[in-house]
Amino acid sequence: MTGLVWKDMLVSAKTAKSYGLIILFYFVLGFLGTFEVTFITAFVSVLLIMLPLSAFSYDEAAKWDGYAVSLPLGRRRVVAARYLFTLLIVLVSLAVATLFSAFIALQGQSFLEPLSSALGTLGFGLFVLDVLLPLCYKLGPERARPYLYAVIFVPIIALFVAFRMGLHLDLSWLDALAARSELLVFALLALLPLSGAVLMLPSYLLSCRILDGKEF
Angle between helices 112-139 and 51-61 (to 10 degrees): 30
Of 134, 55, 54, 125, the residue nearest 90 (C-alpha): 125
On the 0-12 / 13-18 / 19+ scale of CB atoms within 10 A, 142 is exposed
Which of the 8 DSSP states describes residue 187? H
CB-based contact 45:93 (threshold 8 Å): yes
pLDDT bucket at 205, cuts 50 / 70 / 90: very high
Query: Which whole-number Å values give the CA distances from 18 to 25, 38, 59, 95, 112, in the listed order?
Result: 11, 22, 19, 18, 28
The domain tally of the chain equals: 1
pLDDT bucket at 162, cuts 50 / 70 / 90: low
Rounded to an integer, what distance in angstroms lies between the CA atom of residue 198 and that of residue 193?
A: 9
- Read off the pLDDT of residues 118-160 as tens digits, 9 standing for 90 and up: 788 888 888 888 998 999 998 888 888 787 777 767 766 776 6
Query: Which whole-number Å values give the CA distances from 93 to 56, 73, 211, in the listed order?
Result: 19, 29, 28
Rounded to an integer, what distance in angstroms lies between the CA atom of residue 83 and that of residue 207?
A: 10
pLDDT bucket at 202, cuts 50 / 70 / 90: very high
Q: What is the mean pLDDT of the chain?
A: 79
- Read off the pLDDT of residues 38-64 as tens digits, 9 standing for 90 and up: 666 667 767 777 788 888 888 888 888
Q: Is the pLDDT of residue 195 over 80?
A: yes
CB-based contact 45:122 (threshold 8 Å): yes
What is the maximum alpha-carbon separation in the chain? Answer: 58
Choice between 67 and 178, residue whose per-residue pLDDT is larger: 67
On the 0-12 / 13-18 / 19+ scale of CB atoms within 10 A, 182 is middle
Rounded to an integer, what distance in angstroms lies between the CA atom of residue 11 and that of residue 134?
A: 20
Domain that holds residue 127: 2-212
Rounded to an integer, what distance in angstroms lies between the CA atom of residue 35 and that of residue 29?
A: 6
Q: What is the pTM of this model?
A: 0.81
